[in-house]
Structure 1
Amino acid sequence: MKSIARRNQRYWKYLFWLGPILFVAGLTAGFVSNDWEPVPLGLIVAGVVITGLWLILSANQNRWWSRRSTQAGTNALIATLSVLALLGLINFLAVRYPVRRDFTEAQLFTLAPQSQQLVRNLSQPINVWIFDRNQDQQDRELLENYRRQNPQFSFEYVDPQVQRGLAEKFGVKQFGEVHLEAGQQRRLVQVVNNEQRLSEVRLTNSIQQVISDRTAKVYFLQGHGELPVTGEQGGLSQALTALGERNYTTEPLNLIQNPTVPQDTTIVVVAGPKQPLFPSEVKALTDYLNRGGSLLLMIDPNTNPGLDGLLKSWGVTLDNRIVIDPAGASIGFGPAVPVVDTYGEHPITQDFNNGISFYSEARSLELSEVAGVQATPLLITSPQTWAESNLQGDQLQFNPETDVQGPLTIGAALSRKVNNQQSQEARLVIFGDSNFAVDGLFEQQLNGDVFLNSIGWLSKQDEETLSIRPREPRNRRINLAAQQANVLGLTALLLIPLIGFASAVFLWWRRR
């Protein structure tokens, strides 16, 4: 009988191992297949039942529950399970109701109140696209902070070389471009790289501008042979489409019939006039600027728009010579197509770096100082260019007596306060070429960016930005003189150890 009992105990031991094996097999099958019925669930239930039966039978045979060691072990097990349950509950609550605290002195990892309020009130989906291979941890943490405010905000990193269709949709030209999308509207926020991180100021203000109900109105002057705005060949249809995608409305403007710029005007564009404007039209544009308006002039060479008086008051003089660039001929455009890769420091060109834009038959500009006018060259040609006065010969050569050696300015941005008021500003952007924005050339290189960024600056959207101060870590470094550093080093390495050693010797002597 005893041998039979021992044999049964051995069998029960084998039965115990079968229970955990079935339980683990069920868990593995469920996680791998992501389907918990019926086989994985059946294995788990069978494993639990077998293990439970083994525990019950073992308890009846050994009566281990009455032992003192069993009671102590049970108490320890219950205490351990209680602690685990408590930790699990705390972890569940932390995941379900996350709480973040920023203990940095300058609140570096907390969005500004303006950003938080703006994102929390979003009523439409806003998506940020970062066209880059690498994900910077600081940029990602900033975007996560935005997403925690409202599920309407989302972001995604995209490799432009892998998802080329998406990159072409946004017109991506380089790695690191950050684009904002809201419905049909898209906006380039900035370009991030190793030296430039994603800016909360730019991102928040870009969101504000995209969701704003304000619609900017751009009038294109007509009646003097300007570039057509009705979809004709060689017109501005691509530029007008791009403006529509950015929430601008465009209309033609005829100042001959009514020589007054409409009150709802945001920008007036004069694109390539072939004949001079009438004095009444020039006066209307001058009065518009004096009221704090914005004007974009695109004046081709060999034309006289009749704006010399207006431009003189801003310190701008049009050069009648054509800019010659050998680089244009080397890349197949021709010598009368200056290629620009140098830009002035201005909001219009701030993200251009060394990108290329080119201009067909451009004239240069001369800028002179005028009180109250702030002028910034935008497009600067290379030193190898020159302004040519004689195009009749077979070969174009620089003549120091009649030509002007580069670098030359073929685009500029100007601004001035109106009636000495700090809150109102007139703005003027002038280019010595209009062909860079026509259909076919608008989407080439940075040509379209030059036009659209000029419109953006002239619309004064930068004046509507929220006043968010960039947060920077405070410098808490201690600058010590050489003598102070030496004293500190001797104190730490020599004086303090000697004091400790002397104290130990003194205590030893007292206890003798």
Structure 2
Amino acid sequence: MKKITKKQPWKYLFWLGPFLFMVGFTAGLVSGSWGLLPLAFMIPGIAVIIFWVVWQSQQSRWWASRSTQAGTNAVVATLAILVILGLINFLGVRYQLRQDLTETQLFTLAPESQELVRRLPQSVKIWVFDTNQNPQDRELLENYQRQSSKFQFEYVDPQSRPGIAEKFGVKEYGEVYLESGNKRQLVQSLNVNERLSEIKLTNRLQQLTNSTVVKAYFLQGHGEHPLTGGESAISQAVQGLTEKGYTVEPLNLADKLQVPNDAVAVVVAGAKRGLFDAEVKALQNYLNRGGNLLLMIDPDTDPKLSPLLQEWGVRLDNRLAVDVSGAGVGLGPAAPIITDYGQHPITKDFGKGISFYRLARPIEITSVAGIQSTPLLQTKPYPNSWAESDLQSEKLEFNPDKDLKGPLTLGVALTRKLPATSNPIPTPTAATTPSPLTTPTTTQNQATPTPTVATSPATPTLTATTTSLPSPATTPATEEKSEQSPKESRLVVFGNSDFATDGVFQQQLNGDVFLNSVTWLSQQDQQPLSIRPKEPKNRRITLSTSQANVLTLSSLLVLPLLGFLTAAFIWWRRR
């Protein structure tokens, strides 16, 4: 018989520890204050529990048993797994890693949007006055917010918060406003058919954060593309500049004979007739005083700009650029497809993107002291592309005696350093003596060497120098103040203007080439140069009635019957 021992009631005092701890914990949790009273219960409870564990271990030596060791290993392994999972979740919240696997990167901001938000000079906030939070719109706003803590957004019900709605002048549900400091601007109005657009939001961010007013002038009067609607108009290009904060105005040099002083860039888009000598001289003077010029000159045209181009080492070839690789995508041989871009801020983010230029002429570049040139657009090597001289032939074939082998340069960007002057942009008046900048002299011709251009077909020579070019007109006053930082004039030349016209501007990277060129020319360093945000492509498949019937029969009848016949054949072989 087992010896019956008398129970010792003091052993049950162990339960006093958990009881005291739960009393103190509950008191602190309910009151929200972990003061003296909750601690007065919790500390003795913890002390009782620790004392009981130590006493039990001394009495039974349970830690030496195999079951205790196995249990301890299980507890340690479980705690280790929980700690690892906790660390993974912490790192996942702290450092997010997102991978967009869609073909058109629908859930990723364009590089231009990312760079713009990261460089925000001050905090901005998006106010969406709507009761429903569309998941697509919210995902787009969260993508912006991930780029910078200065970007915030908030959904507001105009009925529940009428004060805020009245401050913004909200008229209907779905209006989206952008606020930065004391500035407020309407982004767009949302509805069932129109969701929040990255293009509109990025453009509004640029306009709101850029306080400077920049003007781009388009030369008119020589058969250039019209700015508004009409045949071969460039209204979409003008709208793109306006959305980026530019003020676009036409320019007629025959009336003024001088480029306005507030012009950050002048665009000559497809002039078909020659400019007067005085107009060409006005453009030269504009470049000599630190201006920026974009020339888009089509084949079989002569705008009489050769004197200006020779100063910069640029020659326009009269032959036609031919690219036979475009036939597979519906483009003829006279529409070169460009996938090779120069290492330049205008094209740095294009990668292997596509742009095309219908009826383009090659550009030859020669070395000129003080001018740095960078090819922007390069066609494919021969035999895919060449410069065709016989434009009357119905079948384009390479003639080694007259034609020029590819690759061909269709666009080039050039810069020229100019010493600073005390009066950066002189304003001539009728009462004053004409400035040397506006009077042609032999000194200017000597200061700017004219390149020797080879007339025989040859591969263009591309060089880049950093030697400073002497000022076209130097006076003692400017020499005394030469300590100012030098200015820079910029020139971009394309052998085509069709890529910026309506209908073609929004295809592939054509619009990006134009907008980035103007942005780089305007020397607006606060504006990022990159690919503009794109709208999602429509990937819906439209089927006719017969196609839908074939798809239905194949999925409900043909495929099951094929599987049944396959199973029957396998059974018969194994029988």
Q: TM-score, normalised by structure 1?
A: 0.57
Indicate the SS of the match to 1:257: helix
Match of 1:489 in 2: none
1:46-89 CA-partner distances (Å, limit 9, x unpaired): xxxxxxxxxxxxxxxxxxxxx98887665333333356569998
By how many angstroms is 1:338 displaced? 0.7
- Paired residue for 1:181, among 201, 206, 221? 201
Match of 1:78 in 2: 23
Change (3 A) 1:210 1:297: farther
Match of 1:230 in 2: 228
By how many angstroms is 1:140 displaced? 8.4
By how many angstroms is 1:427 displaced? 0.9
By how many angstroms is 1:143 displaced? 2.9
Please tell me whether residue 305 in structure 1 is matched to residue 309 in structure 2.
no
- Paired residues for 1:209-224 under 5 Å: 210-224=208-222
Change (3 A) 1:260 1:332: same
Indicate the SS of the match to 2:225: coil
Change (3 A) 1:251 1:397: same
Match of 1:119 in 2: 122
Q: Distance in 1 between matches of 2:255 and 2:492?
A: 26
Whose helix fraction is larger, Structure 1's or Structure 2's? 1
Gaps of 5+ in 2: 1-11, 36-94, 97-116, 129-135, 156-177, 181-191, 420-467, 469-483, 529-575
Change (3 A) 1:400 1:88: farther
Q: Which structure carries more relative contact order (alpha carbon 8 Å, separation 6+)?
A: 2
1:459 partner amino acid: S
- Paired residues for 1:96-495 under 5 Å: 118-120=121-123, 122=124, 142-143=146-147, 145-147=149-151, 170=198, 181=201, 185=203, 210-383=208-381, 384-419=384-419, 422-462=485-525
- The answer to whether the 8 Å contact 1:116/1:146 transfers is no
2:22 partner amino acid: L
Match of 1:35 in 2: none
Q: Distance in 1 between matches of 2:308 and 2:17?
A: 98
Q: Distance in 2 between matches of 1:81 and 1:344?
A: 70
1:76 partner amino acid: F
- The answer to whether the 8 Å contact 1:238/1:439 transfers is yes
By how many angstroms is 1:266 displaced? 1.2
By how many angstroms is 1:282 displaced? 0.8
- The answer to whether the 8 Å contact 1:343/1:380 transfers is yes
1:297 partner amino acid: L
Q: Distance in 2 between matches of 1:116 and 1:342?
A: 29
Q: Distance in 2 between matches of 1:440 and 1:238?
A: 8
By how many angstroms is 1:305 displaced? 1.2
Indicate the SS of the match to 2:320: strand
- Report the identity percentage: 47
Q: Distance in 1 between matches of 2:119 and 2:27?
A: 40
1:337-363 CA-partner distances (Å, limit 9, x unpaired): 111111111111122111111111100
Match of 2:50 in 1: none
- The answer to whether the 8 Å contact 1:239/1:442 transfers is yes
RMSD over aligned CA atoms reads 3.9
1:103-156 CA-partner distances (Å, limit 9, x unpaired): xxxxx99xxxx9798333x47769xxxx99x99x9x8895363347999799xx
Change (3 A) 1:72 1:146: same
Indicate the SS of the match to 2:254: coil
Q: Distance in 2 between matches of 1:459 and 1:392?
A: 40
1:400 partner amino acid: P
Q: Distance in 1 between matches of 2:233 and 2:16?
A: 92
By how many angstroms is 1:392 displaced? 2.0
Q: Distance in 2 between matches of 1:125 and 1:118?
A: 19
Q: How many residues align?
A: 332
By how many angstroms is 1:382 displaced? 0.6
1:209-256 CA-partner distances (Å, limit 9, x unpaired): 652121211111111111111322221111111211111111111001
- The answer to whether the 8 Å contact 1:301/1:361 transfers is yes
Q: Distance in 1 between matches of 2:244 and 2:151?
A: 24
Indicate the SS of the match to 1:461: coil
Q: Distance in 2 between matches of 1:414 and 1:117?
A: 29
Q: Distance in 1 between matches of 2:376 and 2:327?
A: 23
Q: Distance in 1 between matches of 2:212 and 2:494?
A: 27
Change (3 A) 1:238 1:148: closer
Q: Distance in 2 between matches of 1:214 and 1:448?
A: 23
Q: Distance in 2 between matches of 1:147 and 1:80?
A: 41
1:252-286 CA-partner distances (Å, limit 9, x unpaired): 11001110101111111001111111111111111
- The answer to whether the 8 Å contact 1:328/1:339 transfers is yes
Change (3 A) 1:165 1:125: closer
Q: TM-score, normalised by structure 2?
A: 0.51
Indicate the SS of the match to 1:287: helix
- The answer to whether the 8 Å contact 2:145/2:152 transfers is no
Indicate the SS of the match to 1:454: helix
Match of 1:203 in 2: none
Larger deviation, residues 142-151 vs 224-233: 142-151
Indicate the SS of the match to 2:150: helix
Change (3 A) 1:72 1:232: closer
- The answer to whether the 8 Å contact 2:206/2:244 transfers is no
